[in-house]
Amino acid sequence: MKKFLKTTLAIFAAGTIVLSALAGCTSGSEEVENTAQTNGTPPAQTNGSEDDSSTSSNNGTSSTDSASSTTEVWSGWKDFNDSSWSVNIQIEAGKFSSFSEGSQIQVEWTASQTATAYKKLQFDSMGSSWVELTGGTFTGGTTDSDKGVIPESSPLSYTVTSANAAALKANGLAIMGYGIVVTKVTLVSGGSSSSSSGSSSSSSSTTTSDVETKVEPTSITGTPYANHGKLSVSGANLLDEKGEKYMLYGFSTHGLNFGDEFSRYVNEDAFATLVDDFNTNCIRLVLYPRDYGGYTTGGDKAKLKAIMKNGIEYATNKGMYVLVDWHVHNYNPQETKDEAKTFLAEIAKEYANYGNVLYEICNEPTNSPWNSAIKPYAEEVIPVIRQYAPDAVVIVGTNTWSQDIEEPLANPLDPATYGNVMYTFHFYANSHTDSYRSRVESAVKSGLPVFITEFGTCDASGNGGFNSSESASWFSLCEKYNISHMNWSLSNKSETASAIQSSCSKTSGWTSSNLTESGNLVVEHFKTLAR
């Protein structure tokens, strides 16, 4: 039986739903490129209404209560067996025009006669690439640790999030499956659920029912957040709550998962130094999913989450903006997607009322084309954040260590669906000079909102090649186009990019003599900016 299930799972994983093959991972700044496959195209699309064994039905609506309506949108006999992922049911986008948060997709089903050992369903929004609906709640089935839901009773119901509803209204629904026969699909709109007989409730893996949402913190008069409030994105610009252009700048921590040597800088006094002495308005908190002690590779998850949450609190207490960085580094972000969704859902729920929190969902992917890997990843991860933080700014990495900025320029995420989204570019001044600045300038002038979530004054390795003149040219570009930028890194690691001297053990209150050549250059630049 174990062998059979493994074979079945392998077939499921090989299906042409939106997936990506795995890539390697290394630590540090930009390094040697690894080869990776990209995720496949959507499965062959066979509309249920065109299948010989099924019929389409749209019988109108019948009221289940005063606040909801029920529409049967498909009926027939669709056998999702083991042999072909091309078997699917598609529901056009127009059927979801009245969908909103709390609406339901209900599927009536029975066991397949040709494949009964393993059962699974998956709901995807369609569009240019199919993206699994996540973040909502299943009734009548158990969320699979990999993808989709394992049906347990009929009907199976999925209660959608607001982001799900928006995606369905834009793209329609595809239902794929395994080992079951679907006989009817019903939509319950209006945010009211109807009964599911004999069902058992199981939340999605991204639902965090045990996490309490903190109350909105009090703004500290005179601080960056008190002066500028919640941020938004318009065209190429980051705007403050008054609708005025605003630029975030400050330091990035090194990897918080690398031990106390790096996480010790996450403390209240350090953040006070950053705001009061260095004139910064933002801190980037870096958590590697992989690498040493990574969140997905044996790191102490509870401890790492506590460090991240403490950092959010310390930043908030000083009126700083804080960037929560899921630090995908040198691999395809699809490889840690499920863990990203779970982690980011928890942070977004707990800090839903903190208007100063921004989210960076993948730092430096490589071998990950935008259209087939990164964009589908973002289309799946952003809704997890949106269910709790509908207006937070979300920053999406780009391929080749976040430098292929032209790819999202050609095919950006729909702001009407995904909200306040920006795109990442990284530079290291001695390695990335005029031609890279031209690429950024061209993208911004074309209307792409760019956020430089990481920059260094040296070589792309993070070491050697300190270059003040090229750094100054980058600073001028950022000021000219209001481009936010975060320096790598607030640490005393013995490398050129570090802001603190390796001989300095202080974790706050640094003076110029405690800073490296890079640290002093960056701090002097920050002191010239309007906080």
Residue 454 known to be catalytic: yes
CB 151 within 8 A of CB 121: yes
Which residue of the set 313, 360, 454, 470 is catalytic?
A: 454
Helix axes 517-526, 468-481, angle to 10 degrees: 20
Q: CA-CA distance, 522 to 471, in Å (whole number)?
A: 9
Which residue of the set 132, 364, 380, 495 is catalytic?
A: 364
Q: CA-CA distance, 457 to 514, in Å (whole number)?
A: 17
Burial readout 478-495 (b: 16 or more C-beta within 10 A, e: otherwise): bbebbbbbbbbbbbbbeb
Q: CA-CA distance, 488 to 499, in Å (whole number)?
A: 8
Closest CA to 18 of 135, 103, 130: 130
For residue 69, what pLDDT is reported?
Answer: 82
Report the 3 state secondary structure along 445-486.
HCCCCEEEEEEECCCCCCCCCCCHHHHHHHHHHHHHHCCCEE
Q: Say how many C-beta atoms besides its own lie within 10 A of residue 162's C-beta.
A: 18
Query: pLDDT tens track of the chain, all 531 residues?
Result: 333 333 333 333 333 333 333 233 333 344 333 323 232 333 333 333 333 333 333 333 333 333 568 888 988 888 887 655 556 899 999 899 999 888 999 998 887 766 556 788 899 998 777 888 888 888 888 887 667 888 888 889 999 888 888 889 888 999 988 788 888 899 998 743 333 333 333 333 444 667 899 999 998 899 999 999 999 999 999 999 999 999 999 999 999 999 999 999 999 999 999 999 999 999 999 999 999 999 999 899 999 999 999 999 999 999 999 999 999 999 999 999 999 999 999 999 999 999 999 999 999 999 999 999 999 999 999 999 999 999 999 999 999 999 999 999 999 999 999 999 999 999 999 999 999 999 999 999 999 999 999 999 999 999 999 999 999 999 999 999 999 999 999 999 999 999 999 999 999 999 999 999 999 999 999 999 999
What's the burial of 16, exposed, middle or buried (CB within 10 Å: 0-12/13-18/19+)? Answer: middle
Q: Cα–chain-centroid distance for residue 33? A: 23
Run of H or E including 111 = strand 104-111
Closest CA to 17 of 77, 81, 84: 84
Please name the residue that has the structure tokens 């700048």. Answer: 249
Indicate yes or no: pTM above 0.75: no
Q: CA-CA distance, 413 to 127, in Å (whole number)?
A: 12
The alpha carbon dihedral of 134, 139, 140, 142 has a sign of positive
Residue 364 known to be catalytic: yes
What's the burial of 32, exposed, middle or buried (CB within 10 Å: 0-12/13-18/19+)? Answer: exposed
Q: Say how many C-beta atoms besides its own lie within 10 A of residue 245's C-beta.
A: 12
For residue 147, what pLDDT is reported?
Answer: 77
Tokens describing residue 404: 């292929």
